[in-house]
Amino acid sequence: MATSLLRRTAAQLFMVGLPRPALDRETREFLAERCPGGVILFKRNIRSAEQLRRLVADIHATGAGVPPLVALDHEGGRVDRLPHPPFTHFPPMARVGESRDTGLAEAVGRAMGRELRAVGIDLDFAPVLDVWSNPRNRVIGDRAFGTTPRTVARLALAFARGLARAGVLACGKHFPGHGATVGDSHFVLPRVRRSRRELAATELVPFARAAAADIPALMTAHVVVPAL
């Protein structure tokens, strides 16, 4: 009994992907038996709004008392897993950042959240909390709300409030900061060449403010930060 409880508790720390747009018997049994804490969806899992709604409901139904969180990356701009139409194609957050308008950022987050909740999504891997401090960095680029920590913190947290108002959990990323790098961490291991003082004054500011605001989750970056 203790071993079974330990396994189920440990499984809650895992978020797993799915191979297809529907649960086959093997995947359904895996989710029911292993009880992972969450499931992340990618484009390969999504064909239409109705298919996505059914898939999310099926995933939730596998949970033994605690349904897994269903999540995806929905930032606007080029990081968008959803089909258009019927879902709205939102602009990259740099465009929202140019307005310096926290009301607009919150409204965008709420609009995104409403569409996600309509199909049952629990968690959005957004907002991007990276400060776009290196203009050669195209991996982050217009995904960031801006080039200064204050702008990023204000607008990203407003966006997160909008998601919350729509009933969707926010996950800020990519801690401790990916905006000063050049390489794409999906393919290489970038290095953040900042001193501890520089990190505290720039990269870490939005994350510290997000933590102080009790953002539900933070995603780590696949980067090397020697100063830390």
Report pLDDT digits (tens) over 157-177. Answer: 999 999 999 999 999 999 999
| Cα separation values, 128 from 11, 18, 47, 175, 207, Å | 27, 24, 26, 10, 10
Q: What is the mean pLDDT of residues 110-125?
A: 98
Mean pLDDT, residues 142-162: 98
* Mean pLDDT for the stretch of residues 182-202: 89
Determine if the peptide bond prior to 84 is cis (ω within 30°): no
For position 133, what pLDDT does the model report? Answer: 92
Q: What is the pTM of this model?
A: 0.93
Nearest one of 228, 219, 221, 218 to 193, comparing CA atoms: 228
**How many residues are there in the chain?**
228
> d(Cα 156, Cα 147) in Å, to the nearest integer?
12
pLDDT, residue 190, reads 87
Q: 34: which 2 tokens?
A: 């292993």
Q: Sorting pLDDT into bands at 50, 70 and 90, what band is 105?
A: very high
Least confident piece of the model among 107-111, 116-120, 132-136: 132-136
The whole-chain average pLDDT of the chain stands at 95
Topology annotation, domain 2-220: TIM Barrel (3.20.20)
For range 197-211, the mean pLDDT? 97
pLDDT over 60 at 131, yes or no: yes
Give the model's pLDDT for residue 202.
96
**Percentage with pLDDT > 90 across the chain:** 85
